């Protein structure tokens, strides 16, 4: 475990390291950093020695598992989005990379992972902020329908996103 600590100490993402044994119950988890524990809710001693399938659930893509194994067997790098499950049973959507690395002459599977739900929440917050900013610059809805009709030449019965696009285009270029 010491060699993995030295190798991963500066990483600010979740790290999982396994052996390269693809027998029925492998590969086997050899190491995970604290970020991985935080992300999944499990402590290392709860899954060390297990296969990464430990984190799979009903909606984990088994076809992607085959693709990842094929990449590793052929020495290829894999990057993708994967659904696993946290200790509390909630889904965890993550972006991850998988590659074979050699440390002290031995091959290991090295996975870097980022929780996409955090990224998606941040993106949604930014969209909501932008939406509030745009809507604050648009005339009140009662005047908006007439305004939309005047710039788009269409009759509008509801306030919708097409209006916002028209308004923004005519007022902000």
pLDDT score of 45:
93
Mean pLDDT is lowest, of 88-102, 116-130, 148-162, for 148-162
Dihedral angle, C-alpha 96, 97, 102, 104, nearest 10 °: -30
Q: Residue 114 in 3-state DSSP? A: strand
Residue of 128 and 106 predicted with greater confidence: 106
Summarize pLDDT for 18-42 with one digit per residue, the tens.
998 888 788 999 999 888 999 999 9
Which fold would CATH assign to domain 2-119? Beta-Lactamase (3.30.450)
Domain ranges of the chain: 2-119, 138-172
CA–CA separation, 50 and 52 (whole Å): 7
Which DSSP symbol is given to 53?
A: G
CA–CA separation, 77 and 71 (whole Å): 6
pLDDT score of 159:
45
Whether 142 shows a pLDDT value over 60: the answer reads no
Residues 15 and 33: beta-carbon distance below 8 Å: yes
């Amino acid at each position: 475990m010491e060699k993995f600590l030295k190798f991963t100490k500066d990483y600010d993402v979740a790290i999982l390291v396994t052996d390269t044994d693809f027998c029925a119950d492998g590969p086997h988890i050899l190491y995970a950093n604290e970020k991985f524990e935080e992300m999944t809710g499990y402590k290392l001693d709860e899954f060390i020695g297990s296969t990464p399938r430990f984190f799979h659930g009903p909606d984990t893509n088994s076809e992607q598992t085959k693709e990842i194994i094929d990449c590793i067997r052929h020495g290829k790098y894999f990057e993708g989005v994967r659904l696993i499950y946290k200790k509390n049973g909630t889904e965890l959507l993550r972006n991850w990379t998988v590659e074979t690395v050699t440390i002290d002459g031995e091959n290991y599977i090295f996975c870097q992972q980022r929780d996409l739900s955090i990224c998606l929440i941040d993106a949604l917050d930014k969209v909501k902020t932008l939406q509030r900013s745009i809507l604050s610059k648009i005339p009140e809805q009662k005047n908006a329908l007439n305004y939309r009709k005047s710039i788009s030449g269409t009759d509008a019965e509801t306030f919708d996103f097409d209006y916002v696009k028209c308004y923004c285009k005519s007022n902000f270029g």
